[in-house]
Amino acid sequence: MQYLIQVTEDNDEEQMYAAPVADDDARYLKQYVAPTLQPLSMPDYMHGPAVLLHTFARFSYILDEQHLYWCIEWNPGLLVLRFAVDGSMGWTAIRSPVPGFGGQEELEADVLAYDDDAENHQRNLVFTAWNSLFDKQYRKWYAFVPATQAVAARHEQLLQGVNTAGEQLQQRYADTFEAWAKDCRQRIADWAGEGVRLGPDAYTSS
């Protein structure tokens, strides 16, 4: 399981870099987040999470053999989309373990379950890659190296469907972008609700 980032080098050329996902963060994603994924159709993608590419949301891409995970910091905590080689998609909304995240109401269950000493895997899964996008030192710390051609090709293959959808959306809603974006954000909020609250085992080290 590895992070993938697209970096603009000093010579203005783009280079994809890859780095391993820490074991505990990978375990969190595969064992606790992935089982909560629900099927996502292309029409629902185009009228929902596609809008996130047009926001200031922090995100990361994580390659896991036949799947690419897109992890986005967004209420109620972490949105995760998974793209498969057969073109199928899934998505889930995981509630942040931090009470009041993103200005949300602090529910009693959040406060009772919160452990200030527990590892915040949601933050790790997003910001390990996000910070490395903009800082060479972070890339060094997290062991980012230039991605192989095979990895870059798999990344492109897994995103082919949604990239095509993005081109269609630009043409279709060029004159009504704000209305489309507002509708998408509301659809995400309605679908995500309070999010899936994972148990304390998800936040303990293996």
User: Which residue would you say has higher pLDDT here, 8 or 137?
Assistant: 137
pTM for the structure as a whole: 0.93
CB 35 within 8 A of CB 155: no
Residue ranges per structural domain of the chain: 2-198
Residue-wise pLDDT for 86-106, tens only, equals 999 999 999 998 888 888 888
Residue-wise pLDDT for 106-140, tens only, equals 888 888 887 888 889 999 999 999 999 999 999 99
